[in-house]
Amino acid sequence: MTETISTAARFAMSHTEDCSPDQTGYEIRPAQVADLPQLQELVDRFVQANRLLPRTTDELHDLVPTGFVAIAEDRVVGFAALEIYSPKLAEIRSLAVDQGYHGRGIGRGLVSRCVQLAVSRNVLEVMAITSSDGFFKACGFDFTLPGEKKALFIQTRDEY
């Protein structure tokens, strides 16, 4: 199966080779329902800063089975989830890393775990809708869809 993984996906997945606390000061593990209060607090801070769209506790609960958290000092300091839409497409959702932990590879590690999950589930493409283009480009994402495809959106209501 490794030979069918794209170069970009291999690059994205290469960033969690050792995310053990002794090496990095944090660990990345699958999200758990018990993490929800801390996830909501973390996401709410990003919503208030206009960095993420609002997420209810129920929406975050739905992301837990395909989500990952970064834990440092016994608390959640990062989160990302993979929402799988079909065998062809998944999306990185609600990527957030506590401001005090930026620059330590946590975001990259969370993205890597999401891409690994997509590969393990044979999802063809993973997208990220973001205002942090440079970050995702550094994680191996490209700005374009394959071929001549373009992603177009229409907003169906004024607020989220």
**Phi, psi at residue 39, to the nearest 5°?**
-65, -45
**65 contacts 99 by C-beta, under 8 angstroms:** no
Task: Sketch out the chain's domains with CATH numbers.
Answer: 2-138 (3.40.630.30)
- Is residue 6 scored above 60 in pLDDT? yes
Say how many CA atoms lie within 13 Å of 119 toward its Cβ: 20
- The reported pLDDT for the residue numbered 101 is 95
CB 36 within 8 A of CB 138: no
pLDDT of residue 14: 64
pLDDT average, residue stretch 105-110: 95
- As given in the structure block, the two tokens for residue 101 are 């932990």
State pLDDT tens for residues 33-60.
Answer: 999 999 999 999 999 999 898 999 999 9
pLDDT band per the 50, 70, 90 thresholds, residue 1: very low
Mean pLDDT of 95-115: 95
Question: Tens of pLDDT along 56-68?
Answer: 999 999 999 999 9
* Average predicted confidence (pLDDT) for the chain: 85
